[in-house]
Amino acid sequence: MASFVKSTNRKGKTDEVIQQEEIIQAVVIADSFNTRFAPLTIFKPKVLLPLVNRPLLDYTLEFLSINGIQETFVFCCSHAQKIKDYILKSCWSNPDSPMSVTTIVSESFLSMGDILRELDSKAIIRSDFILLSGDTVSQIPVKDILLKHKKQQQRDKGLVMTLVFKKALPKHKTRCLEDECVIAVEPETERILHYQKVGCKKKIEFPLTIFQENNKVTLRYDLLDTHISICSPHVPPLFSDNFDYQTRDDFVRGVLINEEIMGNTLNFHLIDGGYAAQVSNLTMYDAVSQDIIKRWSYPVVPDLLSLPGGRYSYLRHNIYKQKDVVLKRQCILNENVVIGHGSKVGSHSSIINSVIGHDCEIGNNVHIDGCYIWNRVKVEDGCFLQSCLLADNVVVKKGVTIQAGSVLSYNVVVGPDITIKCSTLLQAEPPSTEMDEFGDNQTLEPSDSMVVDPELVGTEGNGFLCHLSRGRDDDNEEFPEDVWGRTCQSESEDNETSVLDSVEELSDGDSPPPDDLRLFYNEVLDSLLRGTEEKVKWENLVLEVNSSKYAYNVTMKEVNTLVMKAILEIPKQGSQEPLQPQVYLVALKPLLSQLLPLMKNYVRSKESQLDCLSALEEFGIVNEELGVIIMKVLHFLYEKDILSEPVILEWYSNPPVLGDLDPAEQNLLRRKVQPFIKWLEEAEEESSEEDSD
């Protein structure tokens, strides 16, 4: 970036003259302090873990490069040699690379504060710079934010840092629970007046002075912290002067508290569109991976990235394949699937919402849903894998079921014919408590036995159970989380997020994004579950549904449809096996009676009745084994005056378009409800005859 000076010519006009070239610098923190990726990081630094078959660090460096950053410093302590070796062998070390990448190593780096103090002692920062971690995935125009920061500095000489945020409503999938924050901003200058982490607090207190001293104050709780900061050259010296500053949050609090004394200020920048997220734990790893596969992060997508093994070919339904992939007959790649070079998939196997690394072998009759399988993994015949992570060189013997939330670290072997229970964490070596050398506050508590347990990993397995615990000084003990970093919840709650995965998204022209619809649906299902269990008054349930409607800007058509779907889904919650129709109907009948006033509140007009019927039809098609009970539900709603005869007959004779569902399946469902339709028509004829008499 060039800096300019103004000069006046003979005619009195002002010319801009380039004075000197200014190099744009960035500082990347490669160490993952307080990481939740243990024990995977025992063997490999987190920034080199594969995200959609590419090291995390590559995404960060690519982001800086496309923004025109010329000089980047990568700071690391643990696994430093592996990071250095990777950068030396990567394209970032090529002579024609547009960005120079320098690795700086020190065993004393135990926090971000230590890194910035080292940065100050080396005096390598010459101007404003970009500060971020090595697990950041983004494509926002950070160079433009840097230019804006410089302009604001001309007005406010005390501006030392601009924090970059993205708008995201609470419970958004890329909002990490640990990063929930609320800030107060002076809207005209964008100066941050107050910054506070929320955690599990129900109430937030703001200093009265910020309202007394400012004419306008904006309070924001709809923000996602991108962990990208624009810093002035004064930031490293401020860390050197205050050894209490260990994290960026420490720095922000210190600047806000001492602002009157030191005169330093912080600014807030809200990006309009674009994508930015930090892979801070396995939940975020899952969320960011799916965003990349579904192309929310475009142009940071697999087919446009330079990857080992060559570029990916991009096929319909977000299927990505590299060269030398072998797919046997009758194997199914449903949607959102990435397969690396040299991998093989056997016959009658199905894969959905998953990433397969390179040189993997997937056997016959294997079902993989929402999984991340790294490199050289072997999965034998007849296995069922759901929402799990398998690191390099894992072997899954035949007939193994791996339940959601499990992580199998490097070289683990499990099976045959065994079930790995939910959220099980396995590693190939006996667990050890000596993890301080890696700079992590979390420790691994040893299991009761250091001998391989056949009941845990199978008769041919090799692996040890690993319990994840926090250090004593962890400030986030209020979050009861599993290894994926998620707040612990019941199995019925876990099932909520998968309900809409099996149906097509609604296609109303005024609809919010699919993610918001999913969040709205989850909140409605949660409200109805709790309401039916606790016998909550239907008026209060209506208030909860309506509040969610306004929070996510959902249309009434979607409310009518999703409320009906949620009611139909309740009996399935908590059941591991598919319910038989008779069992399902027995559970559904009292729910329909209990929620009858709620349905009458929403299903009133002809349009809302058609919405309700579309929800019934879609549920019956997606849940084929339960399609036979749709007729009984129709009869119940007809008897209770929720659905009228003319509307039912119109729906039957004019099938609605339901996304990409096969019309043949709609015809099949109509044959199942035909006896009820015939009964209605005959009743109508008899009524007509009586009227004529």
pLDDT tens for each residue of 547-564: 788 777 788 888 888 999
Q: How far is CA 591 from CA 532, 587, 614, 633, in A?
A: 7, 7, 20, 11
DSSP 638-651: HHTTSS-HHHHHHH
Q: Provide the pLDDT for residue 39.
A: 60
279: nearest Cα among 204, 389, 141: 389
| Of the candidate ranges 90-104, 309-323, 384-398, 548-562, the one whose mean pLDDT is the lowest | 548-562
Q: Provide the pLDDT for residue 233.
A: 93
Q: How far is CA 154 from CA 157, 159, 263, in A?
A: 6, 9, 15
Burial category of 35 from C-beta neighbours within 10 Å (exposed 0-12, middle 13-18, buried 19 and up) = buried
Q: How far is CA 608 from CA 612, 642, 648, in A?
A: 6, 10, 12
Residue 71 burial (CB count, 10 A): 17
Residue bearing the bigger pLDDT, 478 or 87: 87
pLDDT over 70 at 465, yes or no:
yes
Residue bearing the bigger pLDDT, 365 or 430: 365
Calculate the average pLDDT of the chain. 81
Beta-strand pair 337-339/389-390? unpaired
- CA angle (158, 161, 165) in 5-degree steps: 135
Rounded to 10°, the helix 630-639/663-692 angle is: 40
Sign of the Cα pseudo-torsion (374, 300, 140, 169, in order): negative
Residue 231 contacts residue 161 (beta carbons within 8 Å): yes
User: What does the alpha-carbon distance between residue 390 and residue 377 come to, in Å, rounded to a whole number?
Assistant: 8
* Terminal-residue alpha carbon distance, the chain: 92
| Of the candidate ranges 235-249, 501-515, 633-647, the one whose mean pLDDT is the lowest | 501-515
At 162, is the pLDDT very low, low, confident or very high (cuts 50, 70, 90)?
very high
Q: Provide the pLDDT for residue 689.
A: 57
pLDDT over 60 at 495, yes or no:
no
User: What does the alpha-carbon distance between residue 528 and residue 551 come to, in Å, rounded to a whole number?
Assistant: 17
At 661, is the pLDDT very low, low, confident or very high (cuts 50, 70, 90)?
low
As beta bridge partners, residue 373 has 356, 390
User: What does the alpha-carbon distance between residue 376 and residue 623 come to, in Å, rounded to a whole number?
Assistant: 36
The whole-number average pLDDT for the span 279-295 is: 90
User: What does the alpha-carbon distance between residue 467 and residue 28 come to, in Å, rounded to a whole number?
Assistant: 31
Task: Kindly provide the b/e burial profile for residues 524-544, where b requires at least 16 CB atoms within 10 angstroms of the residue's own CB.
Answer: bbbbbbebbeeeeebeebbeb
**pLDDT digit string, tens, across residues 27-40:** 999 887 656 676 67
**pLDDT digit string, tens, across residues 578-617:** 778 888 888 888 888 889 988 988 888 888 889 888 888 8
Q: Provide the pLDDT for residue 480.
A: 39
Q: What 3 state SS string does 69-132 have?
A: CCEEEEEECCCHHHHHHHHHHCHHHCCCCCCEEEEEECCCCCCHHHHHHHHHHHCCCCCCEEEE
* Token pair in block for residue 175: 């909002």
Residue 361 contacts residue 349 (beta carbons within 8 Å): no
Residue 612 contacts residue 598 (beta carbons within 8 Å): no
Residue bearing the bigger pLDDT, 457 or 442: 457
User: What does the alpha-carbon distance between residue 603 and residue 614 come to, in Å, rounded to a whole number?
Assistant: 12
CA atoms within 13 A on the CB side of 71: 11
Residue 658 contacts residue 621 (beta carbons within 8 Å): yes
pLDDT over 70 at 168, yes or no:
yes
Residue 23 burial (CB count, 10 A): 12
**pLDDT digit string, tens, across residues 323-369:** 899 999 889 998 899 999 999 999 999 999 999 999 999 999 999 99
**pLDDT digit string, tens, across residues 108-125:** 788 899 899 999 998 888
User: What does the alpha-carbon distance between residue 278 and residue 327 come to, in Å, rounded to a whole number?
Assistant: 34
The whole-number average pLDDT for the span 56-74 is: 92
User: What does the alpha-carbon distance between residue 239 and residue 448 come to, in Å, rounded to a whole number?
Assistant: 43
Name the phi and psi angles at 104, rounded to 5. Answer: -120, 125
As beta bridge partners, residue 218 has 185
User: What does the alpha-carbon distance between residue 183 and residue 240 come to, in Å, rounded to a whole number?
Assistant: 26
Coil, helix or strand at residue 690: helix
620: left (phi over 0), alpha (psi -120 to 50) or beta: alpha
Name the phi and psi angles at 233, rounded to 5. Answer: -65, -10
* Token pair in block for residue 263: 């005169």
Q: What is the pTM of this model?
A: 0.66
